[in-house]
């Protein structure tokens, strides 16, 4: 693979979505998924409670009923095999299955030791890295903690590069919709890494950093972004509020040997 595709020579790199993660993961020591609304925020909330989170890639975009049914069966089987409970869709939680991708649901639901969390964006990125590449879940709630963890483990140099991947969202046709909240979350992490001596930054990472540092009123910006307005219209304003709790968590979700995110 050519150096231009993997932003070679840089200690901190930036790309979008599962495809970008797959490209950069071949030439990186650590991959950081940023899916502010809501996968990595949900992971952060769950890990704060001591819950192990197992990501499961859920199909996005236009899929047939047969494909959706097959994915549901695969997720159920994976949860059973892993000794975990399976999170529901936001709109289908019940008293028996109160866990979902909603951070508000995860904060209020009863404790469970292991939880399979399906997602078409963040989970797809988290599962893109091969064995040997560390995977970290970052969001606005834990930016400083993640930046400190990465540099303390010597990530963020040309010898041990870190790839910061903004998840984005999906248009109805399944194509990537770059999402402002993920650009800002990724930029916040790049900024934190830069302040701790990581680098050099790829031009892509530097642009993400500049976007974050040039944004005033981060919580308002996220709440009024397309994704924030979408969640509010769905009745999940609290999820947006939780996602913008800047540096509320000191824990760093790191994917371990069995594929689950735990505090690193």
> What are the DSSP E strand ranges found in the chain?
12-16, 30-34, 52-57, 85-86, 114-119, 134-138, 162-166, 169-170, 176-177, 253-255, 261-263
> Where residue 67 falls among pLDDT bands split at 50, 70, 90?
confident
In this predicted structure, what is the pLDDT of residue 2? 60
When pLDDT is averaged across residues 71-99 and rounded to a whole number, the result is 95
Decide if pLDDT at 131 tops 90: no
| pLDDT tens digits along 190-242 | 999 999 999 999 999 999 999 999 999 999 999 999 999 999 999 999 999 99
| pLDDT tens digits along 162-181 | 999 999 999 989 899 999 99
Which CATH fold topology does 3-263 show? putative 2-phosphosulfolactate phosphatase (3.90.1560)
Would you list the domain boundaries of the chain? 3-263
| Secondary structure (3-state) at 85 | strand
DSSP 111: P
The side-by-side arrangement of strands in the sheet containing 85-86 is 12-16, 162-166, 30-34, 134-138, 253-255, 261-263, 52-57, 114-119, 85-86
């Amino acid at each position: 693979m050519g150096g231009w595709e993997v932003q070679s020579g840089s200690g901190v790199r930036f790309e979008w979505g599962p495809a970008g993660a797959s490209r950069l993961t071949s030439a990186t020591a650590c991959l950081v998924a940023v899916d502010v609304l809501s996968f990595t925020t949900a992971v952060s909330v769950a890990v704060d409670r001591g819950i192990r989170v197992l990501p499961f890639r859920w199909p996005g975009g236009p899929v047939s009923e047969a494909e959706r049914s097959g994915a549901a069966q695969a997720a159920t089987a994976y949860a059973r095999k892993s000794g975990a409970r399976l999170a529901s869709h936001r709109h289908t939680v019940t008293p028996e299955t109160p866990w979902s991708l909603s951070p508000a649901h995860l904060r209020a639901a009863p404790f469970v030791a292991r939880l399979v969390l399906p997602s078409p964006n963040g989970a797809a990125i988290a599962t893109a890295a091969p064995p040997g590449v560390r995977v970290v879940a970052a969001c606005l709630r834990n930016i400083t903690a993640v930046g400190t963890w990465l540099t303390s483990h010597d990530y963020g140099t040309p010898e041990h590069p870190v790839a910061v991947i903004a998840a984005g969202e999906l248009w109805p046709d399944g194509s990537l919709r770059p999402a402002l909240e993920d650009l800002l979350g990724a930029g916040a992490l790049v900024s934190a890494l830069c302040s701790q001596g990581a680098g050099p930054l790829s031009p892509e990472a530097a642009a993400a950093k500049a976007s974050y540092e040039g944004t005033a009123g981060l919580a308002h910006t996220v709440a009024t972004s397309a994704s924030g307005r979408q969640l509010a219209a769905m009745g999940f304003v609290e999820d947006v509020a939780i996602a913008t709790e800047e540096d509320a968590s000191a824990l760093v979700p790191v994917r371990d040997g069995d594929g689950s995110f735990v505090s690193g």
